[in-house]
Copies of this chain bind each other. A is one copy, B any other.
Amino acid sequence: MTTDNRPMTSAPVATTPLRFKRLLLTGAAGGLGRELRQRLPHYCETLRLSDIADLGSAGPREEVMPARLEDAPAVLQLLEGVDAVVHLGGVSTEQPWEPILQANIVGIYNLYEAARKQGVKRVLFASSNHVTGFYRQDEVIDARDPMRPDGLYGLSKAFGESLSRFYWDRYGIQTVCLRIGSSFPEPRNRRMLATWMSYDDLERLVVAALTAPVVGHSIIFGISDNHTRFYDNTYGAHIGYRPQDSSEPFRAKVEAGEPVLDMNDPANVYQGGPFVRTGPFE
C-alpha cells in the first residue's frame, strides 16, 4: 500500500549526492554522536559538529560549532553551507517540560527554518521508539500506525515527525525519521532484545538514509536484525537499510541477568519500557 509522498512545491529539490561537502552532525557529544563522529568522515569532506556539551578540539576535516538549538540565529548560522544534517541534538531522555520544549520543540522548528532558509534539502531526524512507546510489546507496528508517545520526550519527537512532514509537503525538504530503538554496545535487558541496534547497524542506517536517492518523508525503525521485534519496516524498504547484527548472541547473558519480569510493571509490558512510567509529575 502506498501513501502520497510528493511536495507541493515544484521548485528544484536539488541533487542527491553520495558524498557530502559539508555534513552537519548535531548532538555530536552524546552517546550516538561520538560514535557517528568517528564514522561519518568517510562520507563527507567536512564534518561539522555541534552540541552544547564539550566537543574537544576539531580533528582533521572537522569543524566544531557549538550551538543551542533554541537559539534561532545560532542555528541559522549552523546550517550555512551544509549539504545535509544528521540531527541527534536535543534532549534524549524523559525530562521536565521546559528543557524538552526548548531543545526539542523550539529546537526542531529552528532547525527546519534554518534548513529552509539555507537551502538544505535533506535531514536525518533522530526520532525515537518512544513516539510509539504506548503500544504493547505483543503488538507489531509499522510506520503508518498512529503515533502513541509515551512521555514528553516521545511527544517532542512526535512533534518533530509532524513538523518534518510539513517541511516536505510544503518546501520539499526531504527527511528520514529514524525511530531509534536502543543503540548501545550491547542489549541491557530483555526489552532491548527487541529494540537493540548495534553501532555498526546505526552507521549502516545513517548512510543508507543519507544516500538513498528519493526519501521524501520516510519513517524507519532503527533496530538490528533481532529475532524478537515489535516493528515491521516494510514501508522503509526503499531506504536500503539491511542490518547485519542481532541481539540474539546476547540473549543468554541478558536473560540470565533478568530471569523474571514483573508483568504488573508497565515498563515490562509497553514497547516504551521504563519511559512509560515517567511523564510529568509534580
Residues in chain A within 8 A of chain B (CB atoms): 1-6, 8, 10, 12-19, 97, 101, 105-106, 109, 113, 116-117, 134-142, 144-151, 154-155, 158-159, 162-163, 165-166, 169-171, 190-191, 193-194, 208, 211-216, 218, 226-232, 234-242, 248, 255, 259-264, 266, 268-270, 276, 279-280, 282
| Cross-chain contact B166 with A134 (CB below 8 angstroms) | yes
Q: State which of B5, B158, B169, B170 has its C-beta within 8 Å of the C-beta of A4.
A: B5
Contacts A13-B264, A19-B259, A151-B170 aside, 6 further interface pairs with beta carbons under 8 A come to: A1-B144, A6-B6, A8-B270, A18-B259, A117-B282, A136-B214
Closest B residue by C-beta to A247: B240
| Cross-chain contact B240 with A136 (CB below 8 angstroms) | no
| Cross-chain contact B228 with A139 (CB below 8 angstroms) | no
A193 nearest CB across to chain B (Å)? 7
Q: A134-B170, A162-B155 are in contact. Are A240 and B228 (CB under 8 A)?
A: yes
Copies of this chain, tallied across the complex: 6
Tell me the bound Cα distance from A134 to B164 in angstroms.
Answer: 13
Tell me the bound Cα distance from A10 to B280 in angstroms.
Answer: 18
Tell me the bound Cα distance from A264 to B279 in angstroms.
Answer: 23
